[in-house]
């Protein structure tokens, strides 16, 4: 089934275009149809097709994540999520998760830590508020304020201002945390 000689063969007449990879090699790159970046195939979701070949998506995982996030903000997406959540509740999915021993231990540990440390509590609250603001679309992810990398994370200069966010990529964020003398695991 694999195209010998060429590593990939394009069949472009329909949307279900498939990349055939020869000889089991996955050491390939492709251009994401959305962000137009050249990325390694591991950055794309894949599945084994009915004919037994692995085929990769056309959007990279990062772009798919953005699409899903936008879909979740639409009325249709919200309704679908509500249905899914109701189904999982009915199946006891969440109850089963909460009663897992490792989850119980983690919840207990985090709770104790937060109760013991008011600062940790405030930080957790600020992070949660900022995450919700992003989910609701009130805050938009931006490129790294220092180097311009698109993969950014939230930095709180002041935990009293949960929605005052500086977007930094992970390396720049850790660099800043080291400069201002914060622990590396802090946001």
- Contacts (CB under 5 A) with Zn ion, residues 125-154: 144, 146-147, 149
What is the C-alpha separation between 138 and 116, in angstroms, rounded? 32
Q: What angle do CA 176, 154, 65 make, to 5 degrees?
A: 135
Task: Based on the shown chain and the rule CB under 5 A, indicate whether residue 35 belongs to the binding site for Zn ion.
Answer: yes
Q: How many residues line the site for Zn ion (CB under 5 A)? A: 11
What is the C-alpha separation between 174 and 187, in angstroms, rounded? 9
Helix axes 61-73, 118-135, angle to 10 degrees: 80
Tokens (6 digits) for 52: 């037994």
Piece of 47-55, 58-66, 82-90, 154-162 that binds Zn ion (CB under 5 A): 58-66
Q: Least separation, in Å, of the C-beta of 65 and Zn ion?
A: 9
3-state helix, strand, coil in the chain (%, to 5): 45, 15, 40
Piece of 20-28, 30-38, 94-102, 130-138 that binds Zn ion (CB under 5 A): 30-38
Piece of 69-77, 112-120, 123-131, 166-174 that binds Zn ion (CB under 5 A): 166-174
List 19, 60, 126, 165, residue binding Zn ion (CB under 5 A): 60
Continuous H helices in 117-169: 118-135
Closer to Zn ion by Cβ: residue 8 or 121 = 8
Q: Which residues bind Zn ion (CB under 5 A)?
A: 32, 34-35, 60, 63, 144, 146-147, 149, 169, 172
């Amino acid at each position: 089934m694999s195209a010998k000689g060429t590593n990939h063969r394009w069949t472009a007449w329909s949307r279900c275009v498939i990349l055939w990879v020869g000889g089991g090699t996955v050491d390939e790159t492709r251009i994401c149809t959305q962000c137009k970046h050249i990325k390694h195939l591991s950055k794309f979701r894949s599945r084994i097709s009915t004919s037994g070949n692995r085929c990769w998506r056309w959007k990279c995982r990062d772009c798919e994540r953005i699409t899903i996030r936008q879909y979740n903000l639409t009325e249709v997406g919200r309704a679908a999520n509500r249905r899914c959540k109701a189904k999982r509740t009915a199946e006891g999915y969440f109850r089963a998760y909460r009663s897992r021993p490792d989850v119980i231990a983690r919840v207990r540990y985090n709770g104790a830590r937060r109760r013991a440390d008011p600062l940790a509590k405030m930080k957790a609250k600020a992070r949660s508020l900022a995450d919700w603001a992003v989910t609701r679309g009130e805050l938009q992810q931006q490129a790294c304020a220092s180097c311009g990398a698109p993969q950014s994370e939230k930095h709180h200069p002041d935990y009293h201002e949960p929605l005052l966010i500086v977007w930094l990529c992970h390396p720049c964020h850790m660099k800043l945390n080291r400069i201002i003398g914060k622990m590396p695991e802090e946001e």
